[in-house]
Amino acid sequence: MPEPYQRRLIDELGTQLMSDMIALAQKLNALAAHDDVLEDGARVVSQSGVPAPLTAFLAVVDETVLERRLDFAAGDVVVSVIAAGRRLRGLIAVSPAAGEHIDLFGKTLSRQEPAMLDAAFALLTDIFTGAARLTVRSLPAEPFGSGGERGISASGLAEIWQIDISETPLPPMSRFLRVNETAFSAVLHVSAGDILATYGDIAGLQSIWDTQVDAFLRAQESLPNHQDGPKLICLEGALDDGSTAALALAGDDVALMVYDPAKLGALHASWRSIFQ
Amino acid sequence: MVVNELDTLLAASVGCQAIAFADLSTRMILVTDTRSKLPRETLDALCVQAATVLGAHGKIGLGANPSRLALLAEKTSVHLFLRASDEPDDVLCCVCAPDVNVDKLVDEATKCLNRISGG
């Protein structure tokens, strides 16, 4: 029979192992659930601020197990970092060069160097703030720091930088509505027959929902070229006052929007990046 | 000639696969571009789709007014329907790949329709 202290040790190890297994299972589920959008081989991890670029940055670090160089691009600026074991080891470079942050590059991040962590936070915040899109490209690792320095875990950085990386990703339709909220003056979002959210003056949209949507969808389904799956239908000048209306469908979700016609192309691009 | 206009629009619109000019009053495709050669059943379906989304014969699919423009985006295609401003039954139908540049297509298609409609 094990001694009491041995039993406690076994219990603690078992609890730790279980906790690691749960974390691993959550990561695998998250990876399996990724509906990745690729742009020239780079993965789009944040679009129109959803999720916040720094949150997306840490989430990518958090899912990086094997050592990799990660190139994050925000507009024309690329930040290259080394990550491994769900930890950020350090920053390699920023392109175009950011001279005033030169002391950061090539050095392993450490909790013992709070000034370096503050500088890294300032640099990333400066680059990512207002980024319409953040992409990441995963590349083979390159020599970095000394072998014994592991950097800081993504969850540790989230704690230090006060960022919530456990934020549950929005469902696709909610993400579409959130990302494009500046294009909409009114929104009626229905899920499985229940009104989930409304915004703006929805009188015209409510009338469409109450009296037209069912018949319209039946008419669409009866067409020989009907396709199942998500749809975005934009109608210019359809409303009483001549304004434009759009209908987005995905699974049990139906969203009716009054949108700015000048944003038609942007709306379609956003819909495509989320639903295709 | 209308067909030349459709061919020019098709050539200028990357991702556009077929263009047809329809009369919603008869629900008929009057002319298509010369390259795409869509089967008659597909053209008929396209015309019916144009009528249901834009509204025709006093029937409006969604909203209070017949629409000037309708965009129908699905996983594998984008359909753009444009109604002529002075001949409401004249409609340009564009069948496109899902990654077509919508803003550019709308711009080019509007100019094309204005030329056809005014000619």
pLDDT in tens, A63-108: 999 999 999 999 999 999 999 999 999 999 998 876 666 678 899 9
Unique residue bearing structure tokens 């990333």: A124
Full 3-state SS string of A189-220:
EEECCEEEEEECCCHHHHHHHHHCHHHHHHHH
Mean pLDDT of chain B: 92
Contact between B20 and B43 (Cβ < 8 Å): yes
Tell if the CB–CB gap between A245 and B62 is shorter than 8 Å.
yes
Tell if the CB–CB gap between A236 and B52 is shorter than 8 Å.
no
CATH code, B19: 3.30.450.30
Whether the predicted pLDDT of B74 surpasses 90: yes
Tell me how far apart the alpha carbons of residues A243 and A202 are, in angstroms, rounded to a whole number.
13
Going by the DSSP 8-state scheme, the letter that residue B35 receives in this structure is T
- For position A262, what pLDDT does the model report? 95
- For position A17, what pLDDT does the model report? 61
Higher pLDDT, A37 or B16: B16
**Mean pLDDT to the nearest integer, A109-128:** 92
Tell if the CB–CB gap between B103 and A225 is shorter than 8 Å.
no
Tell me how far apart the alpha carbons of residues A135 and A38 are, in angstroms, rounded to a whole number.
8
Count up the domains in chain B and report the number: 1
Helix, strand or coil, per DSSP, at residue B63: coil
A276 lies within 8 A of chain B by CB: yes
Whether the predicted pLDDT of A181 surpasses 60: yes
A33 confidence band (pLDDT: 50, 70, 90): very low
ipTM confidence: 0.95
Count of positions (residues) in chain A: 276
- For position A14, what pLDDT does the model report? 65
Question: pTM for the complete prediction?
Answer: 0.71
Whether the predicted pLDDT of A35 surpasses 70: no
Q: Which A positions 195-224 lie with beta carbon below 8 A of chain B?
A: 204, 208, 212-213, 216, 219-220, 223-224
The minimal CB distance from A208 to the residues B63, B74, B99 is found for B63
Tell if the CB–CB gap between B106 and A234 is shorter than 8 Å.
no
A263, closest residue in chain B (CA to CA): B103
Where in the sequence is the domain holding B38, given as residue range(s)? 2-118
For A124-168, the pLDDT digits (tens) are 999 998 888 899 999 999 888 776 778 999 999 999 999 888 767
Nearest 10 degrees: Cα torsion B82, B88, B90, B95: 20
Cβ-based interface (< 8 Å): residues of B facing A: 41-42, 45-46, 48-49, 52-54, 60-78, 98-99, 101-104, 106
User: Nearest-CA distance from B59 to chain A in Å?
Assistant: 11
For the ranges A96-110, A164-178, B14-28, the one whose mean pLDDT is highest: B14-28
- What is the share, in percent, of chain B residues with pLDDT greater than 90? 76
User: Nearest-CA distance from B34 to chain A in Å?
Assistant: 22
Tell me how far apart the alpha carbons of residues B95 and A84 are, in angstroms, rounded to a whole number.
46
Going by the DSSP 8-state scheme, the letter that residue A14 receives in this structure is H
Tell if the CB–CB gap between A239 and B65 is shorter than 8 Å.
yes
Whether the predicted pLDDT of A2 surpasses 90: no
Tell if the CB–CB gap between B71 and A223 is shorter than 8 Å.
no
Alpha helices in B24-95 (DSSP H): 40-54
Encoded amino acid at A190, one letter: V
Domains by residue range for chain A, with CATH: 23-161 (no CATH), 172-275 (3.30.450.30)
| B77 contacts in chain A (CB < 8 Å) | 227
Tell me how far apart the alpha carbons of residues A151 and A272 are, in angstroms, rounded to a whole number.
37
A12 confidence band (pLDDT: 50, 70, 90): low
